[in-house]
Amino acid sequence: MPQQSILVADDDALLVGLLTHRLSAKGYAVSSAGDGAAAIDAVREQRPDLIVLDAMMPVMDGFEALRRIKGDPDLSETPVVMLTALKQEADVVGALELGAEDYLIKPFMPEELLSRIGRILKKDARP
Residues lying near another protein in the complex (CB under 8 A) = 12, 14-15, 17-18, 21-22, 25, 35, 37, 56, 58-61, 64, 85, 94, 106-112
Q: Which is nearer to another protein, 47 or 58 (CB)?
A: 58
Q: Which is nearer to another protein, 47 or 110 (CB)?
A: 110
CB burial of residue 25 (10 Å; 0-12, 13-18, 19+): exposed
Q: How far is the CB of 42 from another protein (least distance, A)?
A: 15
Q: Which is nearer to another protein, 12 or 124 (CB)?
A: 12
At 67, is the secondary structure helix, strand, or coil?
helix
Q: How far is the CB of 56 from another protein (least distance, A)?
A: 7
Q: How far is the CB of 70 from another protein (least distance, A)?
A: 14
Give the pairing of strands 29-33 and 5-9: parallel
CB burial of residue 123 (10 Å; 0-12, 13-18, 19+): exposed
Q: How far is the CB of 126 from another protein (least distance, A)?
A: 29
**119 C-beta neighbours (distance < 10 Å), count:** 12
Q: CA dist 80 to 48, 63, 88, Å?
A: 10, 11, 19
Q: Which is nearer to another protein, 51 or 113 (CB)?
A: 113
